[in-house]
Chain A
Amino acid sequence: MAVSDVKKIYQDVIEDVCSAVREALTAEGCDDHTLQELRNLWLERLENSKAVEPPTTSTVDQVTNREYRHPTTGDTNHSSTMNNKHPAGIKSVHSRVQQATNSGVSNFNNYTTATNLNPSLLSSANSIGSQFVRATYSITPTNPSNIGNSTMQTANQLDGAHDEECTKKSKQHRKKKPPIIEISFQLDGTGPPVGDDEDDDEDSDLEGNDVAEDLEDDDDEDGAEEGKEDPNPLCSDDDVSDDEPAELFETENVVVCQYDKISRTKNKWRFILKSGIMNLEGRDYVFSKATGDADW
């Protein structure tokens, strides 16, 4: 069976079906006019689908057009003007949508990477701020350590006249909530060392705000930071949702057929198919038998 005989085969099927159901339709009271209308409407819909249109160009041109079109998927306008057919038009629109979505995805990826940077900056800022607060707390009640001294020096430089108020407030709050401070010591132990960074915006919080609240906020932010570091739970990628395969198998090019044999050796597949109807790029083809090889 030649592949180009699809229109003849379809016409034969339509004629056979119409002649086969004539008896039943007559028994129900339908006249030949109804049957003729059924045939005409069926043929009309079939032709409107443009799947059985005879090729406007020769088959050789068709091959060259197809082979030319696919490598240049980016230049869809050119390919659509070359073919000037409905399926090509569909393809061009489809590819444009794909490109748009791809670009959207890339933009989204950029956006996500940009947003991913912010938590790291925030975390470093928070850790610096919390360590600064921790250092100021560690100054007054106990003998300052070496790290405390170095931080104290930077604090003196930045805070200036508010240092005394800070220490007073810190004394008061230390008396009120000493366990929170100890917890903050433990939580901030793994943070980056506070050293030469003098750009501590957090110290402005010490001036007018409640220091304990700051500590609590820092703890919350630290908790949020821990969550941002690992947003996906462990082994979350192992769960495969059922929606993905359904979307994966969605395509406009569908071949419906029967198989004699489908075999596999390692990643080499071999197919022996028969009685198939193919719809490729909006055009129908019929094959009686087909053999194929594929790698997986």
Chain B
Amino acid sequence: MSSVYQIYRSTTIGLALDETLHEFGRRQMFTPRIVHYILNIFDYIINEKLSFSSNQDKKSCCLIFKGHLLSYRSCDQVWTLLFDSITLTSTMDSSWKITLIDKKQKVKIIACPTTNPPNRNVFSFQMKPSKRFKSTLEMNLHS
């Protein structure tokens, strides 16, 4: 069973897409259904891209972090972790290091349970417009 998360919509690339789609919607170039459809496609692709990359790097750990956990909460298996100091290093690049030890500059980690990467067949099926979607389009064209 594979599923995709919508959590990556809150990232920079997700927000950029969301703003672009809303602008298209304001200009009446996209219907809300198309906007919803493209966002779903984005969810599938970003989940697949990140999962595919993590499966490739099974041998080596990419990122190591140490820090002080200020607070945490877990709701419906979704963890929210708040660090008030954290140091991140990379095993792939020894020169890469980020140190955030400013107490005012906290780091929040939002983590969902790991899911299997989305199935390609399901993915390709989802990319096709549904029958209901087609019929709605036809109705709009006829009207």
Chain B contacts with A in 104-143, Cβ cutoff 8 A: 104-115, 127-129, 133-134, 137, 141
**Interface presence of A60 (CB below 8 A):** yes
Question: Chain A residues near B1 (CB, 8 Å)?
Answer: none
* 8 Å CB contact of A262 from B7, B31, B79: B79
> Cβ of B56 and Cβ of A66 under 8 Å apart?
no
* 8 Å CB contact of A290 from B21, B53, B62, B107: B62
- Where chain A touches its partner, the secondary structure class is mixed
**Interface presence of A293 (CB below 8 A):** yes
> Cβ of B17 and Cβ of A4 under 8 Å apart?
no
> Cβ of A292 and Cβ of B95 under 8 Å apart?
no
Stretch at the interface among A104-112, A157-165, A247-255: A247-255
A3-B137 CB under 8 A given contacts A13-B46, A289-B57: no
> Cβ of A20 and Cβ of B71 under 8 Å apart?
no
17 additional A-B pairs beyond A27-B134, A288-B56, beta carbons within 8 Å, are A2-B92, A10-B13, A13-B13, A17-B38, A24-B129, A34-B29, A60-B95, A245-B71, A249-B73, A251-B108, A257-B111, A257-B112, A259-B79, A279-B11, A280-B88, A284-B11, A290-B62
Q: A-contacting residues of B (Cβ < 8 Å)?
A: 5, 7-8, 10-13, 15-17, 19-21, 23-24, 29-31, 34, 37-38, 41-42, 45-47, 49-51, 53-54, 56-57, 61-73, 79-83, 86, 88, 90, 92-93, 95-102, 104-115, 127-129, 133-134, 137, 141
